[in-house]
Amino acid sequence: MDFLPNEEPVTAIRAASAARTLAELETAIVTCRACLRLVAWREEQGRVKVARFRADTYWARPVPGFGDPQARIALIGLAPAAHGANRTGRMFTGDASGDFLWRALHRVGLASQAEGRRADDGLTLRGVRVTAAVRCAPPANKPTPAEQAACRPYLDRELALLTELRVIVALGGLAWDAALRSLRALGHPTPRPKPRFAHGALAAIGPYQLLGTYHPSQQNTFTGRLTPPMLEAVLGHAVELARIEIAGLEPGVPYTS
C-alpha cells in the first residue's frame, strides 16, 4: 500500500492508542490521511459528486463510529459508501443500505427513527453503536487487505473504549474477520476451529458474543438474500443477549428520543 510522504504505516496505531476517550478517538479518525489511495478516492468523490447530490457539500473524510457511548451492542460494517457516509459524515447515513438498517434498528427498539438521511436529522441510538472495519470510502467498496490492516487499530480502540460492550454484530464476512482480529488484539484469541461467518452465526469470544448477518447492501436486499425479517431476527437476538443491561428496552417497541 502507498502512504503519503509525510505519513508512516504506524499512523493509525499511534493515533488510536493515544485516544483515551471515544471523543479523542473520533478526532484522530477524522484527521487520518494514512492511506494514499483511499484519501485520494474519498476526496475525489467529494469533488466530482453524482448528479442527485450535486448541491451537497461532501464530508469526504474518514467516518467515525456513531451511537451510544454506553453501547452494549456494536454493529460493524465494511466501509463508508462513496455517496452515503462519505457524503453525510455519519455511518450508514444517506444511502439504501442505511435505509434498510435504520428501519430494522427502529423496529427492534434501538433507533429513535426509521430513517437516517442526514447527520443532523436527530436520529439517536440507545444501547448500540454503529461503526466499520475501514473508515474511508474505498473504490468499488473494496478496501485492500493492507488498507484493512492499516485501519484496524481504530476498531480495536473503539471496541476497547466501549466498556459496556457485550455483543458484536458483524455485517458481512469481512466485518466478521475484522471483529475476530480486533478481539484477538484485545487479548481474546480466536477459538479453534475458527468460527465461520454465516447469516445468524454466533460465536463466544472472551466476554463477547459475535453475531453474523448478511450486509444490508443492495446486492443482498434487492435480491432477497437479506430480508427485513432476517435482519430484525439477528438484531433481536443481539438484544436478547444484551437486554438485561439495556434499561427500559422493549424489543419490538420503537422509541422516540
Encoded one letter per residue, x for contact with ligand SF4 by CB under 6 A and - for no contact, window 118-137 reads: ----------------xxx-
Binding of ligand SF4 by 12 (CB under 6 A): yes
Smallest distance from the beta carbon of 254 to ligand SF4, in angstroms?
33
Structural contact between residues 154 and 16, judged by C-beta atoms closer than 8 angstroms: yes
Contacts 24+ apart (CB under 8 A), 2-9: 2/35, 2/36, 2/37, 3/34, 3/35, 3/36, 4/33, 4/34, 4/36, 4/39, 7/33, 7/34, 9/34, 9/150
Binding of ligand SF4 by 29 (CB under 6 A): yes
- Figure out which of the listed residues 19, 22, 34, 241 binds ligand SF4, where binding follows CB under 6 A: 34
Q: Which is nearer to ligand SF4, 83 or 135 (CB)?
A: 135
Smallest distance from the beta carbon of 39 to ligand SF4, in angstroms?
6
Q: Which three cell numbers stand for residue 200?
A: 445468524
Binding of ligand SF4 by 35 (CB under 6 A): yes
Q: Is 236 helix (H, G, I), strand (E, B) or coil?
A: helix
Binding of ligand SF4 by 157 (CB under 6 A): no
Q: Which is nearer to ligand SF4, 12 or 75 (CB)?
A: 12
Structural contact between residues 237 and 211, judged by C-beta atoms closer than 8 angstroms: yes
User: Cα angle vertex 64, ends 63, 65, to 5°?
Assistant: 125
Q: Which is nearer to ligand SF4, 110 or 134 (CB)?
A: 134
Residues that bind ligand SF4 (CB under 6 A): 12, 29, 32-35, 38-39, 62, 134-136, 147, 150-151
